Amino acid sequence: MAPATLSFNESSDLTDFVINQGHGVKGLSEVGLKALPKQYIHPREERIDEADILPQASIPVIDMSKWDDAEVSKSICDAAENWGFFQVVNHCVPLEVLDRVKAATHRFFGLSAEEKKKYSKELSPSNNVRFGTSFNTQAEKALEWKDYLSLFYVSDDEASALWPTACKDEVLEYMKSSEVLIKQLLQVLMKGLNVREIDETKEKILMGSLRTNLNYYPICPNPELTVGVGRHSDVSTLTVLLQDDIGGLYVRANDGESWIHVPPINGSLVINIGDALQILSNGKYRSVEHCVIANGSKNRISVPIFVNPRPHEIICPLPEVLANGQKPVYKQVLYSDYVKHFFRKAHDGKKTVDFAKLSN
């Protein structure tokens, strides 16, 4: 337990408490700070201005109960092309599974700093299990108000041996129960690109690896001065995101300036297209910039499953997409190089995808 009140005389004291001692921003939130530490203050242009929110707009909500009907398939492909984000309801992931993984997320973050620190970059028994705070504390000019646990799936045995007991069974259950939904979505999206069948080779490119993150956004003093997660697009093929009932996720509108809120819908899952699918589809399906605001009165959690190519796959526009004569916009890149490029910088909107762009 962190002490009830604490003051940080030096900037290095705060970094030590949050990062090195493993208290995270959750620990900082719980010491009862009156004001946001300066390390978390973001420039005005990186925060969401109330005036830039489109209150009437919303991303599509798609009923998955008849997922392979032509009309539903069309709405999925349209959403991937025009919004990059949609919510699904009446999907096949049992609601109890979602409740269990949310409870497990609270259980993990409720552990002591000492316990969570065992999964930090420095101490974790594997690169595939990582507890951290913000996004990339080395590269960031201002820190983000979020703690996370990131779990890269290799095998049941590895998960059983290395993932934290507080959440491993529930994360595995959530990941495995989502596989049917992931396959349904990819089948529909591939049909929209004239890919008739997802064979073994395509499966490795589209869904060869899964990473599940548990995100924790604690109550923040001065939430208007910081961000929960800065502007970014995911580097996945697609992301399946479970959020709780607090809200705070915003998606970039098509005008490139405004933001649209993604309202929590009980039992729904948010789906977004990632950079890998934007590249594979030669830009037809769009990975869209998004961010999360901080909250002044409530703790929030979210649990994204990042569906990715295998790290050693080469990604580039699919031959089926280029068959009609369109010019490739992206070059061949090794997916793990692409992901490393993303992780080595601070969040910077949609800039990661430039790494794969052909220069005419």
Ligand X SMILES: COc1cc(/C=C/C(=O)SCCNC(=O)CCNC(=O)[C@H](O)C(C)(C)COP(=O)(O)OP(=O)(O)OC[C@H]2O[C@@H](n3cnc4c(N)ncnc43)[C@H](O)[C@@H]2OP(=O)(O)O)ccc1O
Ligand Y SMILES: O=C(O)CCC(=O)C(=O)O
Query: Among residues 234, 275, 289, 313, which is the contact residue for Fe ion, using CB under 5 A?
Result: 234
144 binds Fe ion (CB under 5 A): no
In 10 A of CB 329, how many CB atoms? 17
User: Which of 231, 248, 341, 350 has its CA nearest to residue 295?
Assistant: 248
- In terms of DSSP H, where are the helices of the chain? 11-15, 24-30, 70-82, 95-109, 113-117, 156-162, 168-177, 179-191, 200-207, 275-280, 319-322, 335-343
Q: How far is the CB of 305 from ligand X (least distance, A)?
A: 10
Residue nearest to ligand Y (CB): 302
Q: How far apart are CA 189 and CA 66, in angstroms?
A: 15
229 binds ligand Y (CB under 6 A): yes
Q: Bridge partners of 89?
A: 63
Query: Among residues 287, 290, 307, 308, which is the contact residue for ligand Y, using CB under 6 A?
Result: 290
User: Nearer to ligand X by C-beta: 38 or 340?
Assistant: 340
Q: How far apart are CA 85 and CA 175, in angstroms?
A: 20
Q: Which of residues 40-79 bind ligand X (CB under 6 A)?
A: none
Q: How far is the CB of 301 from ligand Y (least distance, A)?
A: 8
The 10 Å CB-count burial string (b at 16+, else e) for 276-295 is: bbbbbbbbbbbbbbbbbbbb
Q: How far is the CB of 322 from ligand Y (least distance, A)?
A: 29
- In terms of DSSP H, where are the helices of 110-167? 113-117, 156-162
Provide the pairing of β-strand 147-152 with 209-217: antiparallel
Query: Among residues 336, 345, 349, 351, which is the contact residue for ligand X, using CB under 6 A?
Result: 336
288 binds ligand Y (CB under 6 A): no
State the number of binding residues for ligand Y (CB under 6 A): 11
Which of ligand X, ligand Y, Fe ion, none does residue 286 bind (CB under 5 to 8 Å by kind)?
none
Site residues (CB under 6 A) for ligand Y?
Answer: 213, 215, 229, 234, 241, 243, 249, 290, 292, 302, 304
Site residues (CB under 6 A) for ligand X?
Answer: 121, 127, 130, 135, 148, 150, 152, 209, 211, 213, 229, 232, 234-236, 274, 306, 308, 311, 336, 339-340, 343-344
